[in-house]
Amino acid sequence: MSVKTPYSFFESVEKSFDKAAQFTKWEDGILQQIKACNSVYRMRFPIKRDNGSIEVMEAYRVQHSQHKSPCKGGIRFSEAVNQDEVMALAALMTFKCAIVNVPFGGAKGGIKINPRNYSTYELEKITRRYTSELVKKNFIGPGIDVPAPDYGTGEREMAWIVDTYQSLKPGEIDAAGCVTGKPITQGGVRGRKEATGLGVFFGIREVCNMTEVMNKLGLTTGVEGKKVVVQGLGNVGYHTAKFFREHGAMIICLAEYEGAIFNAAGLNEEQVFQHRKKTGSILNFPGASNLAVNTDALELDCDILIPAALENVINGDNAQRVKAKIIAEAANGPCTPEADEIFIQKGILCIPDMYLNAGGVTVSYFEWLKNLSHVRYGRLEKRFSENMNAHILGQIEELSGKMVSEKERLFIMHGAEEVDLVHSGLEETMVSATREIMDIWISNPSIPDMRTAAYVSAINKVAISYVELGIFP
Ligand code: NAD
């Protein structure tokens, strides 16, 4: 679904930026520098198709900001790729990284293809050629620019990228850090798959734990018992629904492109996922009722609505009918600026995408750190912690004369594995970012919404890097 707006994607990012910039103290020149896209690399290269014909590819890599090195951002394979889109997404990466204190500049890449129209061999050739074009222009490297998966790309493409890079840069000791989202066997990190959904959960949970915010919305504090609607049962939607259910919320509705299902007593995302796999549709799930149109899900009476599928799904046409108290943007750009205005009037809290779905880039940062340190998280301390925990527990049991249950014993003894540390780092990141944004919002009541407060947080951090570190010549 695409809604026509009078301005381009990049212009809409600029609009949000300008709206927030008036709540900062920075002089215009600095704001202009933060807003500008520093480098745009548009490339053309030929590929020989399986049928022998030659096709010329159109591809981009945009480095929006180098206020921190390296730059970071995904690569998408989509027919909709164009320079404006890649520039907008690169700018959003700059702000996203700043908000969650990931020390990277923003970047984004794209190849204008529908990957479904190409064989695996053709996709491999395209990805490898794209990588070598980036190497030629010094647009990739662990200290320069670090791509990641995005729409239409995944672990497989990242493995091709790292392999191409390593073959062109023999002996570069940190070469594995040239890209993130790699398979574990190629230097990836455990916990990446669920990272965005888990980050979405941590971010919303933190907001739900703020008594004043909940009182204003007429909601009780905490996640437990909240009625949640999730649009999109893909990677982000599935994991978000899973973590909410596991923490006592009720997933009353799940929507996919073929329809939506409702059960006031709560749905189990894994059972729905299996049902969809078996029958090819989310509809007719046992115990649930079907909704006539899938977008009806967006207008249900609920506490939290989580769009986790597409952009522009809540817009000037339907925002007035949204009944949720909280809209949590797990997807990128699900609400238009027109919808934002309506939420402000209706007193609906919109938790913005730019920070809420930053779990992916946060865990990518952990992957990059792992690659630079050349050691798996937890390898050094796991056994030490377990031995120490066993010793402490033994002492407590001896002194108290009481034994803990077997379940408690296992829990207390457990030394942190890689996935435990990644989840813990993600939780810390999302909780801190939520508090920083809320502090900005609360300390300046003229800031109209949380999105603007998030932009203010980003602008302040990028400006501080530019100014206080003396980057301006
Ligand atoms: P995905 O492809 O795994 O899942 C998207 C799901 O949405 C699919 O199951 C699809 O069938 C469904 N869908 C499509 N049209 C729909 C419609 N009209 N109504 C309801 N459902 C529909 O993608 P994903 O990785 O889960 O990404 C979802 C969103 O989150 C995107 O906006 C993406 O940019 C954003 N995001 C993803 C990540 C990540 O780590 N995967 C990180 C940040 C942001």
The pTM for the full model equals 0.94
Name the β-bridge partners of 116.
Answer: none
Quote the CA–CA distance of 106 and 72 in Å, as a whole number.
5
Taking the CA of residue 238 as reference, the ligand 1 atom at the shortest distance is 26
What is the position in ligand 1's atom list of the atom closest to the CA of 295? 19
User: pLDDT tier at 353 (50, 70, 90 boundaries)?
Assistant: very high
Mean pLDDT of 148-157: 94
Specify the pairing of strand 227-231 against strand 54-63: unpaired
Q: For ligand 1, atom 19, which residue shows the shortest CA distance?
A: 257
Four-residue CA torsion sign, 211, 237, 71, 109: negative
Does any ligand 1 atom lie closer than 6 A to the CB of residue 142?
A: no
When pLDDT is cut at 50, 70 and 90, the band that residue 7 belongs to is confident
Q: 36 is written with which tokens?
A: 């500008």
pLDDT, one tens digit per residue, over 242-274 is: 999 999 999 999 999 999 999 999 999 999 999
Domains assigned to the chain: 38-186 (3.40.50.10860), 195-356 (3.40.50.720)
What average pLDDT does this structure show over 412-439?
Answer: 97
Protein residue whose Cα sits closest to atom 20 of ligand 1:
256
Of residues 169 and 292, more confidence is placed in: 169
pLDDT for residue 82 is more than 60:
yes
56-71: average pLDDT: 97
List pLDDT tens digits, range 422-434: 999 999 999 999 9
Full DSSP string of 308-327: -S-SS-B-TTTGGG---SEE
Residue from 96, 192, 257 to probe ligand 1 pocket by mutation (most atoms less than 8 Å from CB): 257
Ligand 1 atom at shortest distance from the alpha carbon of 332: 32
The whole-angstrom separation of Cα 123 and Cα 156 is: 10
Over the stretch 111-146, which tens digit does the pLDDT of each residue have? 999 999 999 999 999 999 999 999 999 999 999 999
| Mean of pLDDT values over 455-467 | 94
Considering the candidates 19, 68, 108, 125, report the single residue annotated as catalytic: 108
Question: Ligand 1 centre from 189 Cα, in Å?
Answer: 22
pLDDT at 473: 55
CA 294 to ligand 1: nearest atom: 19
- Residue 465 reports pLDDT greater than 50: yes
Q: 92 CB under 6 A from ligand 1?
A: no
Mean pLDDT (the chain) is: 95
Give 310 Cα–ligand 1 centroid separation in angstroms. 6
Closest ligand 1 atom to Cα of 360: 40
List, as one string, the DSSP characters of 10-27: HHHHHHHHHHHHTTS---
Per-residue pLDDT at 443 exceeds 50: yes
Name the residue with the closest Cα to ligand 1, atom 18. Answer: 257
Confidence band for 1, pLDDT divided at 50, 70 and 90: very low
The runs of H, that is alpha helices, within 137-260 are 155-168, 195-208, 211-217, 235-246
**How many A from CA of 439 to the centre of ligand 1?**
30
Distance 300 CA to ligand 1 centre (A): 20
Task: Please tell me the predicted confidence (pLDDT) of residue 471.
Answer: 62
Question: Please, what sign has the CA dihedral across residues 144, 149, 151, 152?
Answer: positive
pLDDT in tens, 209-244: 999 999 999 999 999 999 999 999 999 999 999 999
- The mean pLDDT value for 319-336 works out to 95
Q: Quick one: pLDDT band at residue 29, thresholds 50, 70, 90?
A: very high
pLDDT given for residue 3 in this prediction: 52
pLDDT at 280 over 60: yes
pLDDT at residue 182 is higher than 50:
yes
Q: How confident is the model at residue 4, as a pLDDT?
A: 58
Q: How far does the centroid of ligand 1 lie from the alpha carbon of residue 233, in Å?
A: 7
Residue 170 has pLDDT above 70, yes or no: yes
Residue 277 annotated among the catalytic residues of the structure: no
Query: Best mutation site among 283, 310, 312, 362 for ligand 1, i.e. most ligand atoms within 8 A of its Cβ?
Result: 310
